[in-house]
Amino acid sequence: MTTTQDTTTAVVEIDCGKRWTPVCEYGQLIPGRGVTALVDGEQVAVFRDRAGALYAVGNTDPFSRASVISRGILGSRGDTPVVVSPMYKQAFDLRTGECLDEPETPDGSAARLRVWPVRVIA
């Protein structure tokens, strides 16, 4: 998570494990919404919250297996920042990728999104 001033020229980057990859301009992100980026062949959902903080998690919803997490609504549960899957509405902790509603999907796999390091470069 990175907090920063809103500067339209700043660039959002994601660390795929090998290198930092620029994905979009910071100003392109609507506060409270997400976009999908393709990083090293994987789909990453990138969000910016009302305060300007950034989060990046895997885009595949473990419950429907559809690549839709970036289209979810941001919000909070207590102090936890969450994104809610648009498909069946489970909430995921944006910091850990953990699902707050159900620990696993009906087929028994873990309901967790991968978390990606994200930063802003002015």
Partner 1 sequence: MVKKNLVLVGHGMVGQRFLEEFLAQPGAARDWRVTVLAEEARHAYDRVRLTSWFSGTSAEELALCGDSFVAEHGIDLRLGDPAVAVDRERRTVTTGSGQLIGYDALVLATGSYPFVPPVPGHDAPGCHVYRTLEDVAAIKEGATTARVGAVVGGGLLGLEAAGALRAMGLETHVVEFAPRLMSLQVDDGGGAALRRKIEELGVVVHTGAGTQAISTGADGRVRAMSLSDGTELAVDLVVFSAGVRPRDQLARECGLVVGERGGITVDERCRTSDPHILAIGECAQAADGRVYGLVAPGYAMAEAAARELTGEPGSFTGGDTSTKLKLLGVDVASFGDAHGSTPGALDVVYTDTRAGVYKKLVIGEDGALLGGVLVGDADAYSVLRPLAVSRRPLPAPPEQLLLPASAAGSSAVGGAALPDEALVCSCHNVSKAAIRAAVTDQGCTSVREVKACTKAGTGCGSCVKLLGGIVEEELAATGVELAPGLCEHFAHTRAELYEIVRVKGIASFSRLIDEHGTGEGCDICKPVVASILASLGNGYVLDGEQAALQDTNDHHLANLQRNGSYSVVPRIPGGEITPDGLITIGEIARDFGLYTKITGGQRIDMFGARVDQLPQIWQRLVDAGFESGHAYGKALRTVKSCVGQTWCRYGVQDSVGLAIELELRYRGLRSPHKLKAAVSGCARECAEAQGKDFGVIATAEGWNLYVGGNGGMTPRHADLLAADLDRETLIRTIDRFLMFYIRTADRLERTAPWLERLEGGLEHLREVVLEDSLGICADLDELMERHVGTYQDEWAATLADPERLRRFVSFVNAPGTPDPTVRFVPERDQIRPARPEEGGGHRVPALVAGPELEVRTR
Detail the DSSP E strand segments found in 4-100: 11-15, 20-25, 33-39, 42-48, 54-58, 73-77, 80-84, 91-93
9 lies in the site for partner 1, by CB under 8 A: no
Max Cα–Cα distance, the chain, nearest Å:
44
36 lies in the site for partner 1, by CB under 8 A: yes
| Conformation bin of residue 92: beta by default, left when phi > 0, alpha when psi is -120 to 50 | beta
Least Cβ distance, residue 32 to partner 1 (angstroms): 3
H helices, E strands: number in the chain: 0, 9
99 lies in the site for partner 1, by CB under 8 A: no
Candidate residues 57, 81, 116, 120; the one interacting with partner 1 per rule CB under 8 A = 81
19 lies in the site for partner 1, by CB under 8 A: no
84 lies in the site for partner 1, by CB under 8 A: yes
CB 55 within 8 A of CB 32: no
113 lies in the site for partner 1, by CB under 8 A: no
Which CB sits closer to partner 1, 35 or 54? Answer: 35
By CB under 8 A, name the binding residues for partner 1. 22-24, 28, 30-33, 35-39, 43, 46, 49-50, 60, 64-68, 71-78, 81-82, 84, 86-87, 89, 91, 100-104, 106-110, 112
